[in-house]
Structure 1
């Protein structure tokens, strides 16, 4: 771990600051939208726009990097992010915000692709898994820390938007000044969606549904808090609880996933998360209950991302694992785009109101659990000794991080095979 810190501290510091800026602007918009009297449906379009840009960036950023290099792409995207964050309080219009979110989603996706390829280059075969784990911890810590900054400025003013812009701008200094040389960049051509579906129906369906769950957490939790009449302090704590749960429960669920039929752990995680969402739906009228449900939902749903990838890998050859990354990211992105739109529609209806937030999450998580149970009747499970270990990965990451995770799995499996052959 110390070796990873010594070789990639600048990257990790920069990414931590970047995630603070990203986490702050997401929560801030949810609160400011309510202050500006934007309807829930309008805010759902604003929030969904981020994932439209993110999905587009994950497809186009690699080509941009190949054309002009890491440093130029990094610097250009950074300037756009900072500019858009300052634009929000100046142009308080849902259409302008939606366009800004498309730009920010695209830019953040490109930044992640660039930074994560640098991380992969800085790591060695021996510490790549540790580097990835540390990177994921930094990501979640940055988002959680951002929620505390909601208390620094008035969401009705411009100070908080400037703070978010400053964090993003400063985040690039350690990365651009300390990391050298820039790595070569190459991406794997993704598998077709049909090939992925044939290899792992549960992996594909689960990733689609989980995209909606994650996007609802990441973008609509603050909107829910504002619509439910929570204070700024309560909203920031509520949003943070999702990511604290993800940070705390990622390893325990991953450990279980490596030791049992993965479909059981996927079913368990989805069912517990869905049940917690139902608690929030029917009893979420006090802060202790809201924080507890958010912790459990985040703690159960976010690790499902890693588990579904690992489950898909169980039915792929090593040479196909990296190629599957692009398809899984694309499927998850489609669900993420639809998530805020459907959540906003439910929350804006006169039937469910703000509680539609929990209804949407509960429905999708129970759908994952039911489909996992169904797939258990259609296919024999893979013997635990023949499965690859799970690699920590969160939905906030780009295709590059997912490919790095796949490399970690492949290298670990190959090392284990060599050790087995030598002992035989």
Structure 2
């Protein structure tokens, strides 16, 4: 939670301080994409580093670089420098996730893994929401908030660095090639790529949008908080429905709802309460869609293929997260800040149309053969996604055996 407080502060601060420095939406889009390039690179590199020098050293090194990077933002207020710093922070955060999730997965048993992962996801979301409240404690035009984010990140490493828990091994399956992943689950592959663009646009360009339409720092923080509060509230009802309905229909329905909400956000203009409502529901369907797409993909795979497919889905999501802010930033530059909602609406609608198309191409798996649904956040690394997939498969198998018995 402490890590997410610091990281969540910095995400919004980039949009706030970038507006003060006069950066254009297109420039801030490149800065935003830099984070996800680093995150994708770190996801591939962190397991190798951990196997080579160990968890504690990797954790300490990444924490040091991340803390230093946060302090450096106000020192070098140039788009090219911020892009490099964001790439560094994305790389570090990815490695931090791999390390922390390996520890959690190692500490959990088969009976507790689902609860542990759920608690971990809740802690992440609460950290991001809480970070928005901390932004009111300082001025984005000074270095105070960047220093505060750096302090939070530095403190967050103490529990693990001082832990006497045995160091776990990091075993991450090699990601499934995109061609093989697409053959196995076209909806999972395309849907995850498009959803990566949605998530990165919301989390990375939301503050830029708020700055462009003239919201105050407090209003922008509340707007971003609503994106993640919606995810916290709607995750469980959508997850409950996913075990009752054809998941492809639920993906379609959630995407249509997201497209409609974003279209309303675009049509309503700058009304603040309308913006908060649009943010709550648009963010509210984004995170559940991530878990839904993973569950839908696992439904058509054997248990042995799930770990590799999880890695492929995380990689595909990362590619979409790199592209999404660039498209949104260029659209906002050309059409104005309201293009933020337009891009989100069109992307949600594309997911919905593709889900309908796939329903005409393949018969859905029988409901009793579907894997269990587990809340997984888009910020999770391959370690958590793999662990969630294994837990879901084991849980579903146990339920089927119990019913047969």
TM-score (norm 1): 0.94
Whether 2:361 is the aligned partner of 1:378: answer yes
Whether 2:334 is the aligned partner of 1:346: answer no
TM-superposed CA distance for 1:391, in Å, is 1.1
Q: Please identify runs of 4+ aligned residues in structure 1 that moved more than 2 A.
A: 416-421
TM-superposed CA distance for 1:324, in Å, is 0.6
Provide the C-alpha distance between the structure 1 equivalents of 2:121 and 2:269, rounded to a whole number of angstroms: 29
1:310 corresponds to which residue? 295
TM-superposed CA distance for 1:179, in Å, is 4.8
Whether 2:80 is the aligned partner of 1:95: answer yes
Question: Can you list the C-alpha shifts for 1:79-100, whole angstroms capped at 9, x where unaligned?
Answer: 0000000000011111100000
1:7 corresponds to which residue? none
Provide the C-alpha distance between the structure 2 equivalents of 1:413 and 1:43, rounded to a whole number of angstroms: 44
Provide the C-alpha distance between the structure 2 equivalents of 1:413 and 1:263, rounded to a whole number of angstroms: 19
Q: Give 2:16's match in structure 1, choosing from 31, 34, 37.
A: 31
Provide the C-alpha distance between the structure 2 equivalents of 1:58 and 1:257, rounded to a whole number of angstroms: 28
TM-superposed CA distance for 1:268, in Å, is 0.6
Alignment of 1:262-341 (within 5 A): 262-341=247-326
Provide the C-alpha distance between the structure 2 equivalents of 1:284 and 1:66, rounded to a whole number of angstroms: 51
TM-superposed CA distance for 1:176, in Å, is 1.6
Q: Secondary structure at the match of 1:418?
A: helix
Provide the C-alpha distance between the structure 2 equivalents of 1:314 and 1:179, rounded to a whole number of angstroms: 38
Whether 2:2 is the aligned partner of 1:17: answer yes
TM-superposed CA distance for 1:417, in Å, is 3.7
Q: Give 1:413's match in structure 2, choosing from 382, 391, 396.
A: 396
Question: Can you list the C-alpha shifts for 1:101-149, whole angstroms capped at 9, x where unaligned?
Answer: 0000000000000000000011111010000100000000000000011
2:64 corresponds to which residue? 79
Aligned 8 A contact 2:198 2:324 in 1? yes
TM-superposed CA distance for 1:378, in Å, is 1.0
TM-superposed CA distance for 1:413, in Å, is 2.2
Is the alpha carbon distance of 1:24 and 1:179 closer, same or farther for their aligned partners in structure 2, counting shifts above 3 Å? farther
Provide the C-alpha distance between the structure 1 equivalents of 2:79 and 2:175, rounded to a whole number of angstroms: 35
Provide the C-alpha distance between the structure 2 equivalents of 1:414 and 1:77, rounded to a whole number of angstroms: 38
2:384 corresponds to which residue? 401
Question: Can you list the C-alpha shifts for 1:322-377, whole angstroms capped at 9, x where unaligned?
Answer: 1111110111110000111111001111xx20001101100100000011111111
Alignment of 1:254-265 (within 5 A): 254-265=239-250
Provide the C-alpha distance between the structure 2 equivalents of 1:145 and 1:260, rounded to a whole number of angstroms: 34
Provide the C-alpha distance between the structure 2 equivalents of 1:284 and 1:348, rounded to a whole number of angstroms: 17
Aligned 8 A contact 2:303 2:390 in 1? no
1:165 corresponds to which residue? 150
Alignment of 1:131-280 (within 5 A): 131-280=116-265
Question: Can you list the C-alpha shifts for 1:243-302, whole angstroms capped at 9, x where unaligned?
Answer: 000000001101111111111100010000110000111103211100000000011111
Q: Secondary structure at the match of 1:155?
A: coil
Number of residue pairs the alignment of both structures matches: 405
TM-superposed CA distance for 1:420, in Å, is 3.9
Provide the C-alpha distance between the structure 1 equivalents of 2:280 and 2:354, rounded to a whole number of angstroms: 24
